[in-house]
Amino acid sequence: MSREIKFHLDENVSNAIANGLRIRGIDVTTTPEQKLISATDEAQLEFAMSQERAIFTQDIDFLRINQQGIQHSGIIYCPQQTKSIGQIIQGIVLIWELLTSEEMIDHMEYL
């Protein structure tokens, strides 16, 4: 497993965030790119885990999934309309700089 965190952005996340992270050299996939539009939250999490990716979401259902103890490669949650795209990118970059992929396993971060 790579020490560097890779991310998957679910379908509720602006593509501008993916672009902003990629410009900074961060490995990102998105739900539309992976043809997972309308997939269940559990399927999104399963994809992210299969690729060893932490998932970034603005979907409150992922809080419930985390509380149920379902294994994951990391969840980063930000409530909708609380931060700008730039603030979200900065928050994800900070997580990428400070944490390893191993530290993100079954870990939840809030922006």
pLDDT in tens, 23-40: 999 999 999 999 999 999
What domain range is 85 assigned to? 6-110
- Alpha-carbon gap, residue 26 to 92, rounded angstroms: 10
Using the Cα atoms of residue 68, residue 51, residue 20 and residue 32 in order, give the sign of their dihedral.
negative
> In 10 A of CB 110, how many CB atoms?
10
Residue 69 in domain: yes
| CATH number of the CATH domain containing 103 | 3.40.50
pTM for the predicted model, two decimal places: 0.92
pLDDT the model gives residue 35:
93
Q: What is the pLDDT of residues 45-85, one digit of tens each?
A: 999 999 999 999 999 999 999 999 889 999 999 999 999 99
Number of domains in the chain: 1
Residue 1 in domain: no
Residue 100 in domain: yes
